[in-house]
């Protein structure tokens, strides 16, 4: 691959370029959301797209998430591929009924005769010093709902390709973007064959302990693995990428090699994505485990004031503490 085909850019820019390419390739792709047009979104992810494609394809909507999702459903029924931006994670709940009671069920309700290719972009997670309703991780609500696909990129390259793959899907896709990592840069291959949308990625090879996470947790896991390496422990890091469905084969293969698993997430731990992974690995790789599966997560409390977020959100130290515990068995 030539150097011209690889560009270093932040995750936010990579999503922007992925949206631009999808819109250029298909004039039925439209963007909808609060302040996404002239302003380019609060995180500038849609910057300059309205100027390029016009206000008929990049729509500034009222502050009404239920209306945004409901309108997108109607557009999808008429052959469009709408991409909705939810401004902040905690703002998604006014649209919860439209997503879980309608969008998730319409394909089944129509016995597969109609497709609903709606993408819902959700900037999620903490580490931005914001107030309540601006730093939440609501993935588990939607992962529990049949009919929805959930994905979350952790790198700029995945952000670029996965947003295009999500738009191309004929099923509803919720696209959880780690907003604290929007400006983290990485190499993006503008051409080539990307990894499948729902494939787990081995981000770092190791032999002693498997750690699994998605989105904003992946850089934390890689940091923990780097520290552990200097202390003589080899950690294998898996980037989940897809929250629903989960690609378990690489996870099970890794656990059968290491015998130990730590699952990490920013969301609260009870009844969570991490809980599901822990249960599935215990079920399918029980005889390979040399220690209990351990979980590292946010606490089962409402997200705290910004000055306390460092105590609430998992960091490399908490991951390493779990690694030490699993190695002690």
- Residue 291: give the domain boundaries: 201-327
Q: Are residues 183 and 288 in the same domain?
A: no
d(CA 303, CA 306): 9
Angle at 241 between CA 49 and CA 197, to 5 degrees: 65
pLDDT at 4: 60
Which of 44, 324, 327 shows the shortest CA–CA distance to 182?
Answer: 44
Q: Are residues 19 and 63 in the same domain?
A: yes
User: Residues 44-56, buried b or exposed e (16+ Cβ, 10 A)?
Assistant: ebbeebbeebeee
Question: How long, in residues, is the chain?
Answer: 329
Which of 58, 57, 54 shows the shortest CA–CA distance to 34?
Answer: 58
Q: Are residues 110 and 235 in the same domain?
A: no
Which of 47, 26, 51 shows the shortest CA–CA distance to 35?
Answer: 47
Backbone angles phi, psi at 150, to 5 degrees: -125, 130
Q: Are residues 308 and 208 in the same domain?
A: yes
d(CA 79, CA 173): 16
Mean pLDDT, residues 245-249 taken together: 98
pLDDT at 7: 96
Q: Are residues 272 and 226 in the same domain?
A: yes
CA 156 to chain centre: 12
Q: How confident is residue 130, by pLDDT bands cut at 50, 70 and 90?
A: confident
Mean pLDDT, residues 50-76 taken together: 97
- CA gyration radius, the chain: 20
d(CA 167, CA 118): 7
Strand order in the sheet with 149-151: 58-60, 29-33, 81-85, 119-124, 173-178, 149-151, 242-244
Q: Are residues 251 and 310 in the same domain?
A: yes
178-192 pLDDT, tens digit per residue, is 999 999 999 999 999
Helical residues (DSSP H) of the chain, grouped into ranges: 11-25, 49-53, 65-77, 96-97, 104-109, 139-143, 156-168, 217-230, 249-258, 273-284, 309-312, 316-327
pLDDT at 227: 98
d(CA 278, CA 88): 28
Q: Are residues 30 and 116 in the same domain?
A: yes
Distance in Å from the first CA to the final CA of the chain: 46
Angle at 189 between CA 185 and CA 193, to 5 degrees: 135
Give me the number of domains the chain comprises: 2
Which of 7, 8, 90, 87 shows the shortest CA–CA distance to 43?
Answer: 87
Q: Are residues 151 and 49 in the same domain?
A: yes
3-state secondary structure of 79: coil
Chosen domain end from 159, 189, 219: 189
Asked if pLDDT for residue 2 goes beyond 60, the answer is no
Q: Are residues 15 and 104 in the same domain?
A: yes
- Report the catalytic residues: 134
Q: How confident is residue 147, by pLDDT bands cut at 50, 70 and 90?
A: very high
Mean pLDDT, residues 3-22 taken together: 93
Residue 165 lies in a domain: yes
CATH number at residue 296: 3.40.50.920
Mean pLDDT, residues 181-204 taken together: 96
> Of all residues in the chain, what percent carry a pLDDT higher than 90?
94
262-291 pLDDT, tens digit per residue, is 999 999 999 999 999 999 999 999 999 999
Q: Are residues 26 and 135 in the same domain?
A: yes
pLDDT, the chain, mean:
96
Q: Are residues 21 and 151 in the same domain?
A: yes
pLDDT at 1: 41
pLDDT at 3: 54
Residue 196 lies in a domain: no
Q: Are residues 53 and 138 in the same domain?
A: yes
């Amino acid at each position: 691959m030539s150097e011209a085909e690889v560009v270093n850019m932040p995750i936010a820019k990579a999503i922007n370029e992925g949206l631009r390419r999808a819109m250029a390739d298909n004039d039925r792709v439209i963007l909808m959301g609060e302040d996404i047009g002239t302003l380019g979104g609060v995180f500038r992810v849609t910057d300059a797209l309205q100027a390029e494609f016009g206000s008929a394809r990049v729509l500034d909507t009222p502050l009404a998430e239920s209306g945004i999702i409901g309108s997108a459903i109607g557009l999808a029924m008429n052959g469009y591929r709408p991409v909705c931006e939810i401004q902040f994670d905690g703002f998604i709940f006014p649209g919860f009924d439209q997503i879980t009671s309608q969008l998730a069920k319409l394909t089944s309700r129509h016995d597969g005769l109609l497709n609903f290719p709606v993408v819902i972009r959700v900037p999620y997670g903490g580490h931005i010093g914001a107030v309540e309703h601006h730093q939440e991780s609501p993935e588990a609500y939607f992962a529990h709902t049949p009919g929805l696909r959930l994905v979350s990129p952790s790198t700029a390259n995945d952000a670029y390709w996965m947003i295009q793959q999500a738009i191309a899907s004929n099923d509803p896709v919720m696209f959880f973007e780690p907003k604290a990592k929007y400006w983290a840069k990485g190499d993006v291959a503008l051409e080539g064959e990307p990894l499948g949308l729902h494939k787990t990625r081995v981000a770092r090879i190791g032999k002693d302990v498997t750690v699994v996470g998605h989105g904003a947790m992946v850089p934390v896991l890689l940091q923990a693995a780097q520290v552990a390496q200097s202390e003589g422990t080899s950690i294998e890091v898996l980037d989940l990428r897809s929250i629903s469905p989960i690609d378990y084969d690489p996870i099970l293969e890794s656990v059968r090699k290491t015998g130990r698993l730590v699952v990490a997430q920013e969301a609260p731990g009870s009844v969570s994505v991490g809980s599901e992974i822990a249960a599935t690995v215990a079920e399918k790789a029980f005889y390979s485990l040399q220690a209990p599966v351990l979980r590292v997560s946010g606490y089962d409390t409402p997200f705290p004031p910004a000055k306390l977020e460092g105590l609430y959100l998992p960091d490399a130290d908490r991951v390493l503490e779990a690694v030490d515990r699993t190695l002690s068995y």
